[in-house]
């Protein structure tokens, strides 16, 4: 993957919150040094990721995962999955992420139509770092289910030897939904060996 505008922008947008979370959550002596080394590692990781199709809905997902993976590969200490979950939640919960989440239009007719169109398009995706999924409407426009059959985060973190932290990244789905007044539930995950990730959304506003 080329190191273009979005790749640079993602690092700039979340650099401060990722560094601050190192100070408040992780037991590292020098957060600045971790982030300095992680920036180089982030670019190195992305060099090994296949190029995403133009307009991919999930490019930012793989970039966020690459940032977390870069940090984890540059810390002096190794952390358990629960600590990494808290770290990732803390690092991702900034003004930019909240603005992006609340601007979601999946609970409008036009927004749902776009989501379904992208789901249909995803069926032809061959990039192992992207996602294939389907969308089914719920009883109201405020409800739907997205079922994911491939997961770029699983592909990337497995390749990097960070498989144990995949559930920590997946847990942020619940946090993002809560930011947008949405109840999020699922029964299966690919990370846990399930046949898919069945993501159910019930929006209250």
pTM: predicted TM-score of the whole model, two decimal places: 0.95
DSSP 8-class letter at 138: -
Q: pLDDT by residue (tens digit) across 183-194?
A: 999 999 999 999
* pLDDT confidence bin for 205, thresholds 50/70/90: confident
pLDDT in tens, 72-91: 999 999 999 999 999 999 99
CA neighbours closer than 13 Å in the CB half-sphere of residue 101 = 20
Task: Quote the CA–CA distance of 173 and 159 in Å, as a whole number.
Answer: 22
Task: Dig out the tokens for 16 from the structure.
Answer: 């401060």
β-bridge mates for residue 143, sequence order: 202
In the prediction, which pLDDT does 55 show? 84
How far apart, in whole angstroms, are the C-alpha atoms of residue 39 and residue 93? Answer: 20
pLDDT tens, residue by residue, 23-75: 999 999 999 999 999 999 999 999 999 999 988 899 999 999 999 999 999 99
Residue 204 has pLDDT above 90, yes or no: yes
């Amino acid at each position: 993957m080329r190191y273009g505008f979005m790749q640079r922008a993602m690092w700039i947008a979340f650099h401060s919150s990722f560094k601050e979370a190192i100070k408040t959550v992780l037991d590292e002596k020098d957060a600045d040094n971790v982030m300095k080394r992680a920036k180089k590692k982030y670019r190195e990781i992305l060099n090994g990721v296949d190029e995403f199709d133009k307009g991919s809905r999930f490019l930012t997902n793989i970039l966020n995962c690459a940032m977390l993976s870069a940090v984890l590969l540059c810390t002096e200490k190794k952390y358990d999955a629960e600590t990494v979950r808290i770290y990732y939640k803390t690092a991702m919960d900034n003004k930019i992420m909240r603005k992006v989440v609340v601007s979601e239009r999946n609970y409008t007719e036009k927004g749902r139509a776009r989501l379904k169109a992208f789901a249909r398009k995803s069926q032809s995706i061959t990039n192992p770092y992207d996602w294939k999924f389907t969308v089914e409407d719920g009883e109201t426009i405020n409800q739907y289910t997205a079922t994911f059959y491939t997961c770029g985060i699983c592909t990337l973190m497995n390749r990097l030897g960070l498989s144990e932290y995949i559930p920590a990244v997946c847990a942020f789905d619940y946090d993002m939904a809560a930011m947008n007044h949405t109840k999020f539930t699922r029964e299966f995950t690919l990370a846990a060996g399930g046949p898919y990730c069945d993501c159910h959304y019930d929006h209250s506003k």
